[in-house]
Amino acid sequence: MNMSETSPPHLPRGPLVVDVAGVRLTAAEKTRLLHPLVGGVILFARNFQSRKELVAITKSIHALRSPSLLIAVDHEGGRVQRFRTDGFTSLPSMRALGAQWHKNPMTAMRMATDVGYVLGAELRACGVDLSFTPVLDLDFGVSSVIGDRAFDGDPRVVAMLARALSQGLAQAGMGACGKHFPGHGAVSADSHHAIPRDSRSLKKILSHDAAPYQWLGDQVIPSVMPAHVIYTKVDPMPAGFSAKWIKEILRKTLRYDGVVFSDDLTMEGAAVAGDILARARAALNAGCDMALVCNRPDLADELLTRLHWKSSRQSQNRIERLMPKSVAPDWKSLQKQLAYLEAFKSVQVLNGRN
């Protein structure tokens, strides 16, 4: 048999993260995922009916090309958890960890590590490479879209619990993604449906909302997702389209060298940049390494046709550093591991189950 018939094509990872419709790849989706501009796939609840099918689709995505595409999911716990049945642990909201901190900080740190480990280990057992977590936004009590997804309103508490949760993810062989830089918690509008504006000063934002990013850095949080929020006293564009926020503040001032993902380009908060091509160009020109196009395969295909972009070697290296480096145990083996069983017990206690 010819090697070309057995070996996946060698394609460097491109800058776009796209999605798929169901629990199996269609021929059209395979063609889309083989496009040089694609570098990753984001999964949703619709891609999950059983663990067996999840393992099958992640395996088929990884087998398509070399190096393999990054497979990611929004799987934070609480309201945002894509996979909830067939053995997946119900994960608490991050606010539950913040509440535990105010009872006993050291216990909360250990519980956060356990949550991160269970979260990462279960996903990796099914072939998922990255969860877009933890949320580093501060809870100001005004944002319904953030709400209990935030650990706390104190940036010091957020940073410590995020560090502990990221340690748990790392123990499972998974990186972390801090979001939504520099902070989404102080605006009431939901960027999925509106264009939020934050009128606070740069000094106020950096000393408060963005402080966890500076304290943790890319060694702890190896990827970041900027907010679709306009900080009117800093830049007229949302942070994810702003070279001032990404190239100047995040990269230079905060010395951050991890992957920067744009938030979903199809959200209303991204509309200020123009059509899908203008949005992608704005995100990539501002300094994003990867841009997400979710729930609109028509727009993904339009972008793949119209966008001309070559990712830098530096950007490709950042993405490669984010990929898991260890072989994850399968689900059956994971259920027998003492570290997982102990962490699972801790999560159950946090959930109010003894």
3-class state of residue 56 by DSSP? helix
Residue 263 annotated in active site: yes
Residue 257 annotated in active site: no
For the stretch 305-311, contacts whose Cβ atoms lie closer than 8 Å and that sit 24 or more positions apart, written own/partner, are: 306/277, 307/16, 307/37, 307/277, 307/280, 307/281, 309/14, 309/15, 309/37, 309/280, 309/281, 309/284, 311/12, 311/13, 311/14, 311/15, 311/39
3-class state of residue 231 by DSSP? strand
3-class secondary structure for 160-183? HHHHHHHHHHHHCCCECEEEEECC
Catalytic-role residue among 154, 192, 301, 330: 192
Q: Write the single-letter amino acid at 349.
A: V
Nearest one of 264, 289, 114 to 192, comparing CA atoms: 264
DSSP 257: -
Catalytic-role residue among 114, 129, 148, 263: 263
Cα end-to-end span (Å), the chain: 56
Nearest one of 118, 112, 110 to 94, comparing CA atoms: 112
3-class state of residue 14 by DSSP? coil
- Extract the tokens encoding 133: 């977590």
For 70, phi then psi, to 5°, come to -70, 130
3-class state of residue 284 by DSSP? helix
Query: Which residue numbers are catalytic?
Result: 192, 263
